[in-house]
Amino acid sequence: MPRARSLPILTVLAFALSLPVPPRGIAEPPVAFTLVEEHRSYQVRPGESLADIAFRLGIPWRLIAELNGLTDPAHITTGQILRLPGQRIVPAALEDGLVINLPDRTLYHFARGLLIATYPVGIGKPDWPTPLGEFRITAKVKSPTWFVPKSIQEEMEAEQRVVKAQLEPGPDNPLGEYWLQLSLRGYGIHGTIAPGSVGWFSTHGCIRLRAEDIESLYAATPAAARVLIIYEPIKLAAAPDGRVFLEAHPDAYGVTGDGFGRLGELLAAQPVPLRLDYAKVQGVLWAADGFPRLVGSVNESGTPR
């Protein structure tokens, strides 16, 4: 196979910007992202499989297996230390508060400009999407009662389930033990009694966390905290040394269509020109596996060549 040739920035920009502009409904202009690099590892807990760990961390299991030389991914042991990828592309949108990027199904918690925690989340189904925008936490409720919306009652009836107007706190309450009310009536961030639904497009629009994660988030999130919900399936960021990483996720809501269109907007929003390898860019966009990959570098001259 011939070696892929790196294309000059002008070629990449011209190609990307010539494609259709994504429809309205995503951030305009694009949300800025930053690259976080750190040494990361994970200690296997009792009963965990590699698939469990990959799901918890939002990392493809094949990548974890490759990094750790696992010839048999089914064979890991309790207490084993696994090396994890060192790069993460995170939104640089808030100094303090919560940012939820729907395509990567991740909640990012910031405090004083630092990323202090990330959590996988379950979000709205494509036919019942989570709303975008900036909100506030207006109430924090422990052991919430679920007042079932009329629309969900109608869904229960259509599916021939027992229709309920409300559910008291307890093991059958789908909100779990904690509720963070958003400044949008009927929507909140909450726990769940169905942990397998976290990490998927699985809700009626609310943001759902695993029990242990919502407990931690509830304790760490002040009332009136800002919450920014964004839709960015394509994430681009440069390291301090000039390396450029690209990450792509499926466009589950059908908002952006061809990823090259959004990439063109991301490139146009960069403060300095970038030199990208088109073959690598194309591979990332086609894979859409949520893993950041090296695709080029900052053009050191500051001008296209």
- Give 201-213 pLDDT, tens digit per residue: 988 889 999 999 9
Domain that holds residue 62: 39-85
Q: The domain spanning residue 152 has which CATH number?
A: 2.40.440.10
Q: Is the pLDDT of residue 24 over 60?
A: no
Q: Is the pLDDT of residue 133 over 50?
A: yes
Quickly state the pLDDT bin for 39 (edges 50, 70, 90).
Answer: confident
Same-domain check for residues 197 and 140: yes
Residues of the chain above pLDDT 90, percent: 49
Q: Is 78's pLDDT higher than 60?
A: yes
168 and 214 co-located in one domain: yes
- Whether 206 is catalytic: yes
Catalytic residue of the set 109, 204, 206, 249? 206
pTM, full prediction? 0.80
**Quick one: 221 and 91 in the same domain?**
yes
Same domain as 111, residue 44 = no
Let me know whether 221 and 249 are in one domain. Answer: no
**Residue 297 has which token pair?**
């570098």
Is residue 204 annotated as part of the catalytic site, yes or no?
no
| DSSP character string of 12-46 | HHHHHHTSPPPPSSS-SSPPPEEEEE--EEEEPPT
Q: Is 293 left (phi over 0), alpha (psi -120 to 50) or beta?
A: beta
* CB-CB contact of 100 with 123 (8 Å): yes
The residue to which tokens 């900036």 are assigned:
134
- Do 21 and 261 form a contact (C-beta atoms < 8 A)? yes
- Amino acid symbol at 115: L
Contact yes or no for 237/33 (Cβ under 8 A):
yes
Residue 8, pLDDT > 50, answer no
The structural domain count of the chain equals: 3
Q: Which of 174, 207, 230 is the last residue of a domain?
A: 230
Least confident window among 45-54, 119-128, 223-232: 45-54
Q: First vs last Cα of the chain: how many Å apart?
A: 26
My answer on whether 217 and 132 are in the same domain is: yes
**At which of 230, 245, 264 does a domain end?**
230
**Does 18 or 217 have the greater pLDDT score?**
217
Residue 67 maps to which CATH number? 3.10.350.10
Q: Mean pLDDT score of the chain, rounded to an integer? A: 83
- Mapping DSSP to helix (H, G, I), strand (E, B) and coil, where does residue 264 land? helix
Task: Note whether 173 and 117 are same-domain residues.
Answer: yes
Identify the band that residue 162 occupies on the pLDDT scale cut at 50, 70 and 90.
low
| Active-site pick, 39, 75, 109, 190 | 190
Which of 16-30, 139-153, 269-283 bottoms out in mean pLDDT, i.e. has the lowest?
16-30
Q: Which pair of tokens denotes residue 229? A: 């919900």
Contact status, residue 146 vs residue 185, Cβ threshold 8 Å? no
Same-domain check for residues 48 and 153: no
Q: Which of 207, 230, 253 is the last residue in one of the domains?
A: 230
**In a shared domain, residues 209 and 153:** yes
Q: What is the DSSP letter of 166?
A: E
Residue 63 pLDDT > 70, yes or no? yes
